[in-house]
Amino acid sequence: MKRFLFILVITFSLNSYSQSVKDILKYRVVYELTYQPDSTDVNSKKSETIWLFTGGKGSLFLSERKALKDSLSQSMNISQIGSQDWKDKTAATKTDFDFKIYKNRDLDKIYHTEKIFQDGLYYIEKASEIKWKIEDDTKQIAGYPSQKATTSFAGRNFIAWFTSAIPIPDGPYKFSGLPGLILEVSDVENEYVFHFKGLSTSFDPIVKAFPPKLFGESSKEDFLKLKRQYQENPIKYINNYVGESGKKITISFNNGNDKNKYRKKRKVQLAKENNPIELE
């Protein structure tokens, strides 16, 4: 799989700013995330490589496959869709984490950005709502002296290990606010475990804009409701969707039997995806 190495220059275009703010993210932290999508089946565990770009006043968190997927969508043209090359590359970028998380420490804000079908949306949370308790326990992680911290977040209890040897108050996913980089974090059930794999600084610069163009702000409640509707019945969602042009897309089945097979398959699939990182 082709690797993409870069420094990200994030432009935060925020409502409270009359001008956009540029922030150079000097570090790429690589984590391996091991997770269990089905709480009833320990054998359902999977893993993905996760990237955290950080080092300035903010950061960007996304999966490696999400980055490759976005790159693929920009580089492939319509004539290539359906080709074997397109199928191979699409399969290689399949991810359970099809979102990006931006943090702005100055504003104490976390921005969760994600597309639901063709709509790009984001919602905002306060980073300071994650309250940490720093413990006395210490250990070495990849040669870094690390200290334990605990928190409760989104219905789970988490244990984190941070190092003051890297004085960046950031970490994977929505975790931040400790006096050093978070190298490991996991829930106490070990259903979501982030392991530190490395830190690098040599990238080619690119520019990203935030909020992304054409992305609209939503409340978290409305976003989750819309996402749930799409996940439970994507074909119904798409058939009811009206784009900006006013045009509709219609997906139909050859017969009622095919429709029933699809519904049963979707129901089984959703039953196995019952364990998101945020339970509430």
pTM for the model = 0.82
Average pLDDT of span 73-77:
63
Summarize pLDDT for 222-232 with one digit per residue, the tens: 999 999 888 88
Instruction: Name the band, by pLDDT with cuts 50, 70 and 90, for residue 13.
Output: very low
Indicate the average pLDDT of the chain: 83
- Of the two residues 210 and 216, the one the predictor is more confident about is 216
* Backbone φ/ψ region at 103: left (φ over 0), alpha (ψ -120 to 50), beta: beta
Q: Compute the residue count for the chain.
A: 280
Average pLDDT of span 128-137:
98
Residue 64 has pLDDT above 70, yes or no: yes
Residue 270 has pLDDT above 90, yes or no: no
Nearest Cα to Cα of residue 62 among 97, 32, 106: 97
- Of the two residues 121 and 76, the one the predictor is more confident about is 121
Average pLDDT of span 199-219:
70
Instruction: Name the band, by pLDDT with cuts 50, 70 and 90, for residue 247.
Output: low
What sign for the dihedral angle of Cα 267, 91, 226, 40? positive
Summarize pLDDT for 24-53 with one digit per residue, the tens: 778 899 999 999 999 999 999 999 999 999
Q: Among 28-32, 251-255, 268-272, which stretch is predicted with the lowest mean pLDDT?
A: 251-255
Q: Helix or strand or coil: residue 15?
A: coil
Nearest Cα to Cα of residue 64 among 83, 79, 51: 51
> Cβ(125)–Cβ(107) under 8 Å?
no
Q: Report the C-alpha gap between 112 and 92 in whole angstroms.
A: 24
Average pLDDT of span 220-243:
83
Looking at residue 126, its amino acid is K
Summarize pLDDT for 181-201 with one digit per residue, the tens: 999 999 999 999 999 999 998
109-116/21-25 β-pairing: unpaired
Domains of the chain, start order: 6-215 (2.50.20), 220-271 (no CATH)
> Cβ(238)–Cβ(40) under 8 Å?
no
